[in-house]
Amino acid sequence: MSSQAQQVLRDALKLSPVERAELVESILASFSFAERQSIDKLWAVEVEDRIDAYESGELKSRPAAEVFARLERGDF
């Protein structure tokens, strides 16, 4: 990774978890259409796997407000 990219990473890690997630979304959106399609397919598989795990009882749900509050506190 270039020194410029390393500095961007250091700066990004100072952001809140929610701000970092928004930054990641913006960066992913900047990829070319073919790259985005590949990324979208991988996310679709991940989503399906998580839904299956939830429906089988392997994962439990939590209220969104609780999740976002924990992220803001850095409690994850």
pLDDT at 60: 92
Domain membership of residue 14 as a residue range: 1-30
Q: What is the pLDDT of residues 24-74, one digit of tens each?
A: 999 988 887 788 788 889 999 999 999 999 999 999 999 999 998 988 888
Confidence of residue 12 (pLDDT cuts 50, 70, 90): very high
**Same domain, yes or no, for 40 and 70?**
yes
Phi-psi region of 61 (alpha: psi -120 to 50; beta: other; left: phi over 0): beta
Phi first, then psi: what are they for 10, rounded to 5°?
Answer: -60, -45
Residues shown for the chain = 76
pLDDT at 56: 97
**Same domain, yes or no, for 17 and 50?**
no
**Same domain, yes or no, for 14 and 38?**
no
**12 within 8 A of 23, measured Cβ to Cβ:** yes
Token couple for 48 = 């399906």
